[in-house]
Chain A
């Protein structure tokens, strides 16, 4: 008898495609949170596969902190054009201007936590009943407890102690009016799986992920890109180094790594050798041991 089996990337792909199709079938108006980071790029790629030859039946939603890497924005706009997608931008700047949120002050000011309000506002205004994201369980310990289909109450809040049991691959997306779901199609992928998949599929990536020269400075052991959005302390020296980014998010809290990795294969080698998680390069998670859990409870991604 022939031994029918899939390798692990194919099996993960099949699982994620299954989840994306469940979303399309179970929700009226789902959106896909798209940051231009590698995880959301992979989710979008999987969505293209899931509905081929039809178009992706989701709106893309970018929660824009206003502190972007230009490369990420260019990449996003290209992709939207190439696949004829619909993109909505929820702006943190607008929320600040409208007085909905207050900007953090000081050197370590970050707009990361501020994303929750415009996100929830965009969900409400556009009547999205499901928002998909590229979060993975291996990223962070609170995320390790997250379901594929994660229920949010009418305030967008997550209740980690009262999560619906999720068995086999039967997903329960039933909800009351005003509630919504967050769905994470690549829950079971690791950072390594994501890169291996990008390599296997030869997915085009933003240049930020590859080694390049950039003006950076060090703060609390993390190297950040120098930018107009960051107020530098007098002691901080801006220097040009050869770096790349392991995650791409808000420029003010995304750390760079010194790296010569200029191809996907180099990156895979580097990830394999790395002794820190990618979240280790993010300032927002260093604030407290339960930082992520607290943000998620409040309605964060």
Chain B
């Protein structure tokens, strides 16, 4: 088990320290080539290790498969390998000299909508796969809708298996036009289209020699260069207090710091801030970290803030800038994705979690349920069961401080927890 240092081609550790992080999810229906594509990205970026390759080769052989089944790399649970399907979100990691990538590989079946929503919730980018022979199908609508609902900032539609349609430009253009026609109804900001062959590798990492009519970037180039700097809200300053730090040490006798992760905007020393729900104002005295105090901090940094005045602040409170307030309400609408076998109880009581705040709530009304294949609003069938998505009105026992999900994914998202089982039963995006 010797590692040969000669194998490295000028690996630069300083450059590695300055990479960006891109989180993306992959969606597509069964057999569209998701696993093959991920396998290729991992393989071509040298992220598959020899022992992993040996292990899946052995496992493939044992299953009597004639080719090395790259899906075994991502399908990690025994049940998944036995059934040959992806059940749960699997996270995969690879990096190139430019970026580190976290892939949430999510199952495509309708019965796994909740896993897709989970994988999409933290993604900056979604890859949606379309089989060139089949074109846009029902699943494509669903995957795209989920990506738009979860406000994934960038979408790359990969039209795969181009080798099976003779690398035909017209087929590609037809699919692109079909997609654009229905995507205009969705809230998608940035969408790219690529003709690829995951199996042969065309336009994945290397430029295709079979499609000279395509002049755009390869998938890897897009992943490495798409601008993600403005994906987070750096305008509306929001600081949910997670934990109060009071060192029991003499040298920090009067220290009272509010620890949290900035959920939006920028905070600077000297800023006038308001604490919610109390409404008391103060000024930022210092922004403390173990590596020294900062003059300013921005989302998504984790810091500790101290204030000039002693006001009563605890977990669940929020610091905001005085002239830029979030909504403060006890009743609001959310797009709710139901995630539990036990159906939603109309007018049921649940525990609601929002940033660092927890309270009880009641689902007052279901406005409509969505047919997530056609995006049709169903107003007579209002029952929300596993994997259903609908618009509901929620009333909380205490006011929440929030923004719309469109404006800020951190301060616009909630989960519901069942009081008796403690399970997370729903995810909601505040409208």
Contacts and interface: CB of A to CB of B under 8 A. Distances in A.
Contact of B301 (A14, A141, A268, A279): A14
A174 B121 contact: no
A48 B5 CA distance: 34
B415 interface: yes
A270 B11 CA distance: 10
Interface in B226-278: 228-230, 232, 234, 242-243, 245-249, 252, 255, 257, 259-261, 266
A55 B245 CA distance: 9
A273 B11 contact: yes
A140 B289 CA distance: 33
B413 A176 contact: no
Interface stretch (A5-13, A72-80, A95-103, A108-116): A5-13
Nearest to B296: A4
A289 B289 CA distance: 43
A50 B351 contact: no
Interface string A217-233: 00001110000000000
Contacts of B19: 7-8
B31 interface: no
Given A168-B121, A277-B49, A289-B59, A51 B415 contact: no
A8 B100 contact: yes
Interface in A138-183: 138, 140-145, 160-161, 163-170, 172, 174-176
Interface string A58-72: 000000000000000
A292 B350 CA distance: 35
Interface string B96-123: 0001101000000000001101100110
Interface string A278-296: 0111000000011001000
A222 B1 contact: yes
Contacts, number: 230
A4 B13 CA distance: 23
Contact of A275 (B49, B100, B122): B49
B288 A52 contact: yes
Interface stretch (B50-58, B137-145, B171-179, B370-378): B50-58
Interface stretch (B325-333, B359-367, B421-429): B421-429
A175 B422 contact: yes
Contacts of A25: 242-243, 315, 356
Contact of B49 (A142, A172, A199, A274): A274
Contacts of B221: none
B91 A144 contact: yes
B363 to A, nearest CB: 18
Contacts of A15: 300, 302
B302 A193 contact: no
Interface of A: 3-15, 17-18, 21-22, 24-25, 48-55, 137-138, 140-145, 160-161, 163-170, 172, 174-176, 187-188, 190, 192-193, 196, 199-200, 221-223, 255, 257-260, 265, 268-270, 272-277, 279-281, 289-290, 293
18 contacts: A4-B299, A5-B229, A17-B261, A52-B289, A53-B255, A53-B288, A54-B252, A141-B73, A165-B118, A165-B339, A166-B118, A169-B410, A190-B93, A257-B3, A268-B16, A273-B4, A276-B3, A276-B50
